[in-house]
Amino acid sequence: MNFILNRDKTVVSLSGRSVEFVKGQPTYVPPQMHAEVMAIGALPEEEMPEDDENKKPVELTPDERKLLIKQAMEDMVAGNKREDFTAAGTPNLKALSTRVGFAVDKRESDPIWAEMHKVGD
């Protein structure tokens, strides 16, 4: 689906995709990025299909959640941004939840973080 933005801007998704907008020019945006480009003010060229609006969120298995959280933590470590971590050096839960797209609490993140930082067994 094509979207139009009122300014020149490149949008880079958390999934690694990017879209370059030119002011007022319709630009194709992959379905995975629709919500992200609308969040910055891009408007769909035509009306959004109802299916996109009424989809139920996909339920993830505990293993899938753990894998996504671990990958997000690895990305946070690689990015090394101060705001991604607490004063104690653990992942900021708000930043982590934003990266994975679902709420993550301390009981879920702490064991994964500890497992990632085990020193020689």
Q: Over 80: is that where the pLDDT of 47 sits?
A: no
Q: Over 70: is that where the pLDDT of 48 sits?
A: no
At residue 39, the pLDDT reads 84
Same domain for 109 and 87?
A: yes
Q: How confident is the model at residue 1 (pLDDT cuts 50, 70, 90)?
A: confident
> Does any domain span residue 80?
yes
Same domain for 47 and 75?
A: no
Domain span at residue 36 reads 2-53
At residue 11, the pLDDT reads 87
92 or 30: which leads in pLDDT:
92
Q: How confident is the model at residue 67 (pLDDT cuts 50, 70, 90)?
A: very high
Q: How confident is the model at residue 68 (pLDDT cuts 50, 70, 90)?
A: very high
Q: How confident is the model at residue 72 (pLDDT cuts 50, 70, 90)?
A: very high
* DSSP state string for the chain: -EEE-SS-EEEE-TTS-EEEE-TT--EE--GGGHHHHHHTT-EESSPPPHHHHSPPPPPPPHHHHHHHHHHHHHHHHHHT-GGGB-TTSSBPHHHHHHHHTS---HHHHHHHHHHHT----
The answer to whether residues 96 and 109 touch, using CB atoms and an 8 Å cutoff, is yes
The answer to whether residues 20 and 29 touch, using CB atoms and an 8 Å cutoff, is no
At residue 49, the pLDDT reads 63
Whether the model clears a pTM of 0.85, i.e. scores above it, the answer is no
At residue 33, the pLDDT reads 85
> Does any domain span residue 121?
no
Same domain for 76 and 112?
A: yes
